[in-house]
Amino acid sequence: MKIIITADNREKSSGIPGLLRNHFVNVQMVQLSIGDYMINDEIVIERKTNEDFVQSLMDGRLFAQCAKMRKTGMTPLFIVEGNPYKTAHRISPTAIKGALLSINLSWQIPIIKSSGKKDTADIIVMAAKQEIHSLYFVRKNGKKPKKKQNLQHYFIQGLPGVGPKLAHELLRHFSTIENIIRADASTLTEIEGIGKKKAEELFRFFREW
């Protein structure tokens, strides 16, 4: 099955559609009313720079966008480029942290951190390939893996130093993303594959990002 990525016309100036084409995927430019990118009409993606993320939080657009993405029936995904705690806006870090947690836990929309436009393009293509794999699974086995579980694994694999195997172990041990986020460094070391250094890195990540 081909990967078809639909990009909003306003994204053309970002250069990301061109970066996506470098991955030899079909990119169609249209005017989207919801999200910035759609993958095979299965995944809707909202891309935000760190500045735009904070601005949309301050002006009330952020959670309205979450609601619209949820209503599509597609799998929603947020990509945030840069560190939202380091912007020109004057806003409490607690407010930013609360927004990130609300999107992840209350809205059940994973947020993937991106280092820049090239990284964003790579993430979008990776998400597309995972969706294609999921559809292949349906044809082969007659049922589709639970989307919630897929989203949880995808979110956890966005953490520093966490791959598919470790993501599985973390979810198996803690059951939910919220429990992983709330765990202290010593508790994280109980997971096979997480030493003291990695546990401290994850602990800092949850409290600084």
Each residue's pLDDT tens digit, 96-151: 999 999 998 889 899 999 999 999 999 999 888 877 655 444 444 455 555 556 66
- Helix H or strand E segment including 98: helix 93-101
The angle at the Cα of 185, spanning 183 to 191, to the nearest 5 degrees, equals 80
Structure tokens at 93: 């870090």
- The structural domains of the chain, with segments of one domain joined by +, span 4-158, 159-209
Q: What is the pLDDT of residue 131?
A: 72
Tens-place pLDDT, residues 194-207: 999 999 988 887 76
Region 151-172: mean pLDDT is 80
Q: How high is the mean pLDDT of the chain?
A: 87
Which 3 state secondary structure label does DSSP give 81?
Answer: strand
Other beta carbons less than 10 A from residue 11's beta carbon: 17
Residue entry with tokens 């086995």: 141
Q: What is the DSSP string of 136-172?
A: HHHHHHSSPPPHHHHHHHHHHTTSTT--HHHHHHHHH
Separation between Cα atoms, residue 105 and residue 178, nearest integer Å: 7
The fold for domain 159-209 equals: DNA polymerase; domain 1 (1.10.150)
pLDDT at 157: 75
pLDDT by residue (tens digit) across 7-32? 999 999 999 999 999 998 999 999 99
Write out the two tokens for 58: 């301050």
Contact 83, 205 (CB under 8 A): no
CATH number for 4-158 (one of 3.40.50.10130, 3.40.50.740, 3.30.565.10, 3.40.1190.20): it is 3.40.50.10130
